[in-house]
Chains A and B, each alone.
Chain A
Amino acid sequence: MSMDRDMSPDLLEQVNQALNQGTPLRIQGGNSKVMLGRPVAGEILDTRNHRGIVSYDPTELVLTARAGTPLLEIEAALHEAGQMLPCEPPHLGAGATLGGMVAAGLSGPRRPWAGSVRDYVLGTRVITGHGKLLRFGGEVMKNVAGYDVSRLMAGSFGCLGVLTEVSLKVLPRPRQCLSLRLPMDRHQALAELAEWGQQPLPISAACHDGEALHLRLEGGEGSVQSARQRLGGEVLDSRFWSDLREQRLAFFCDPAPLWRLSVPTASGELDLPGQQLIDWGGAQRWLKSAAPVQLIREQAAKAGGHATLYAPGDDSSAPLPAALMRYHLALKQQLDPQGVFNPGRLYPDL
């Protein structure tokens, strides 16, 4: 029996009530990304009953679904048609939803080669801070009419409105997929990756765990085989990548706080106390470290990036430069003037 339901009128009514009463809302899907940002005190707006794939035509490469649709359901539908979400979004919990995936904007191991969640967002329906259900973008690949409000929603953690529906670009799964493990140290791995990155190699994931470089090759039979011969190494079980994405590798079991450092691809080694795991071919560094927050932030900034703590609280989001914060606040004020949507989730005043 289908559980598909359009509950957008109910969600809209709940938002309008909150607007009338000035009650803050805590927008929640599967609650699987709760470790990011700050805790929100507010009435829960649960999106999970508003679910179902609204349309999916594989030859159009577009899937539209309601925000509360479980990510698993979407992935299953795509898999059946030989397609995928190229940004490989982490679930980080059993009940992850499409809305949460877009609002959190997290991408998996394929991100540097295939693009991020926001890169695949084509359109959204959003309940705004003026109590309206509006549509932005659409179901076409190219659309530059008006401001790109849909992509702005990606990664905004529900602070600018309630996502009720999202249209995503999807892609065919590659014909061949092969994973390799090449023992080498971190320094050599980063040097090799900088070199290979300039060549048309079919690499679609690259991670160094301290002992070996793990690579995933995806493409046609010919390119994958020739790259495999050239790169050498031993064949690796491809489950490594879902374990990495879902933070199930042994590295993540370390009891120290977990940090995500987003840095320029060619940053080289980062000198930080604790354990490091290199992801995204060098552009994402996972760090297990009890070092002071300030030290980690400084090192990330020095490299040209920023650091996010995977634990709820004031230290989770990297601070914004003052000038940028002013425009964040102005945008929040314009789109959510009463401050009902996830107030304080990213920053105290936002």
Chain B
Amino acid sequence: MNILYDERVDGALPAVDQPALLQALRDALPDLEILHRAEDLKPYECDGLSAYRTVPLLVVLPERLEQVQTLLRLCHLRGVPVVARGAGTGLSGGALPLAKGILLVMARFNRILEVNPQGRFARVQPGVRNLAISQAAAPHGLYYAPDPSSQIACSIGGNVAENAGGVHCLKYGLTVHNLLKVEILTVEGERLTLGSDALDSQGFDLLALFTGSEGMLGIVTEVTVKLLPKPQVARVLLASFDSVEDAGRAVAEIIAAGIIPGGLEMMDNLAIRAAEDFIHAGYPVDAAAILLCELDGVEADVQDDCERVADVLKQAGAREVRLACDEAERVRFWAGRKNAFPAVGRISPDYYCMDGTIPRRELPRVLKGISELSEEYGLRVANVFHAGDGNMHPLILFDANLPGELERAEAIGGRILELCVAVGGSITGEHGVGREKINQMCAQFNSDEITLFHAVKAAFDPQGLLNPGKNIPTLHRCAEFGALHVHHGQLPFPELERF
């Protein structure tokens, strides 16, 4: 089933007369930059999920809050859908435009408004890049903890919309754990403050609800993030294993020893080899799996923990444990992992990155399932895994120029996510549902749960003008998607218990 907006199953969108809308926008907002020519719109046809493209009706690039406010009021009045976009690095098509909608680009709101070391917060506009916040806080010995791998480019507004994660989530949390306050505009152009400068606020926790809502409930116009003192030291251990099961057990043993590493990453053999070819990080290319374990904090504790973890790793069957001997080696160990995606990109014309999460104990079963699916579909899969928090990133290798391969990649991707759900996990840990996983939402949630999600949406945007078609599928779409599966005669993975 095609993933692009399909009015038949995703709901009819109002017809919009582009020239008339353009004129109305120019009249109301004479100083707003509006792109409307085909060649200007083209660069905005996709976000980080580039396999799916739709040229938007118009692109607007506001620079002032009042422009966004007026734009939203006008769109609300005329019934025009609005898709918000930050840096466009999202991997789930959350900012995929609509042919009948305006693409609202917030990238020009790129000022850091305040860094407050005493209060340990930074107040920034939504277009500020994730890494720029930590850079601005660095002179005070502080940083912003969530670090998605796109952090040099992705913007904080998008991070809020997607509840972005990174490699340090187990210890430092997701975006939702590191926010104090967001200012938003509702679909009607009304300003709301969610959260506060204090640690909690009166009433419902709308800040938690809004974080990760994928631009469906409002537009982020300002973000206040928490800053943390930079850990004194960080050390990395690299352990190699002859089996993925041993590596998985080692992760559980580290936790059982009462240690919460700053980062705990696993890579399988295909990912190891791809990364080593590309980065020369010093990874053992014949290992079935490696674990990277970063311990950070105060010098004395980190020293102790390194020794403890090294013992645990050896007892769990690691054939080699190496402590990065200096900062250069630590950075090199991480470089292999952080470049795993582009490294895989070098060994395959295209790859498709999944984002399922599972209870960690299910890792061996899920990896076995993935390898069986890989054979069934005739596509290689490299596995990169935020092992500490159970977030898997299977990378499906394919060649879009070969007929049918993209479809096969999508199909196996869908099956992998359904496998994650079947073992008690989730279809997305940090990339979001967007458009990409809209069908798999029907596997994770039943129709009553999806109906409740629509009710939440209706409280903020009853006409459904903000980012229609993303995050929550219509029941109609689920009915068709479900029907598709019954055609196969049975549910996926019938041997698994459903819960």
Q: Which residues of B contact A61 (CB under 8 A)?
A: 255
Chain A interface main SS type: loop
A223 CA to B117 CA, complexed, in Å: 23
CB <8 Å contact, A323 and B192: yes
CB <8 Å contact, A154 and B208: yes
Q: Does B106 contact A (CB under 8 A)?
A: no
Q: How far apart are A62's CB and chain B's nearest CB, in angstroms? A: 7
Q: Which residues of B contact A118 (CB under 8 A)?
A: 205, 208
CB <8 Å contact, B191 and A197: no
A139 CA to B499 CA, complexed, in Å: 11
Q: Which residues of A contact B119 (CB under 8 A)?
A: 194, 264-266
| Contact A198 to B300, CB < 8 A, known contacts A140-B357, A151-B209, A280-B199 | no
Q: Please tell me which stretch of A16-24, A171-179, A248-256 contacts chain B, meaning at least 4 of its Cβ atoms lie within 8 angstroms of it.
A: A171-179
A-B CB pair tally, cutoff 8 Å: 273
CB <8 Å contact, A143 and B426: yes
Closest to A262 in B: B198
Q: Which residues of A contact B357 (CB under 8 A)?
A: 140-143
CB <8 Å contact, B298 and A226: yes
Q: Does B429 contact A (CB under 8 A)?
A: yes
Tally A residues with Cβ within 8 Å of B. 86
Q: How far apart are B201's CB and chain A's nearest CB, in angstroms? A: 7
CB <8 Å contact, B198 and A333: no
A346 CA to B209 CA, complexed, in Å: 18
Q: Does B232 contact A (CB under 8 A)?
A: yes
Q: Which of A60, A128, A324 contacts B452 (CB 8 A)?
A: A128
Q: Which of B120, B192, B444 contacts A324 (CB 8 A)?
A: B192
Q: Which of B118, B253, B358, B441 contacts A140 (CB 8 A)?
A: B358
Which of A57, A58, A197, A317 counts the most B-chain CB atoms under 10 A from its CB?
A: A197
Q: Which residues of B contact A57 (CB under 8 A)?
A: 359, 361
CB <8 Å contact, B204 and A222: no
Q: Which residues of A contact B259 (CB under 8 A)?
A: 172
CB <8 Å contact, A119 and B206: no
Q: How far apart are A67's CB and chain B's nearest CB, in angstroms? A: 18
Q: Does B212 contact A (CB under 8 A)?
A: yes
Q: Which residues of A contact B450 (CB under 8 A)?
A: 146
A265 CA to B335 CA, complexed, in Å: 37
Q: Which residues of B contact A143 (CB under 8 A)?
A: 357, 426, 428-429
Closest to A142 in B: B429
Q: Does A42 contact B (CB under 8 A)?
A: no
A318 CA to B177 CA, complexed, in Å: 23
Q: Does B430 contact A (CB under 8 A)?
A: yes
CB <8 Å contact, B459 and A333: yes
Q: How far apart are B495's CB and chain A's nearest CB, in angstroms? A: 21
CB <8 Å contact, A284 and B455: no
Q: Does B345 contact A (CB under 8 A)?
A: no
Q: Does A111 contact B (CB under 8 A)?
A: yes
Q: Which of A142, A171, A305, A320 contacts B426 (CB 8 A)?
A: A142
Q: What are 24 A-B pairs at a CB distance below 8 A?
A: A57-B361, A59-B253, A60-B252, A60-B255, A134-B446, A141-B388, A141-B389, A142-B169, A142-B391, A147-B457, A149-B209, A151-B208, A160-B204, A171-B260, A197-B120, A200-B298, A219-B298, A222-B299, A265-B199, A283-B199, A304-B196, A304-B198, A305-B197, A317-B202
Residues of B at the A interface (CB closer than 8 Å) are: 116-120, 140-142, 162-163, 165, 169-170, 173-174, 176-177, 186, 190-193, 196-206, 208-209, 211-213, 216-217, 229-232, 252-253, 255-256, 258-260, 297-301, 303-305, 357-361, 386, 388-391, 424-433, 437, 441, 444-446, 448-453, 455-460, 471-472
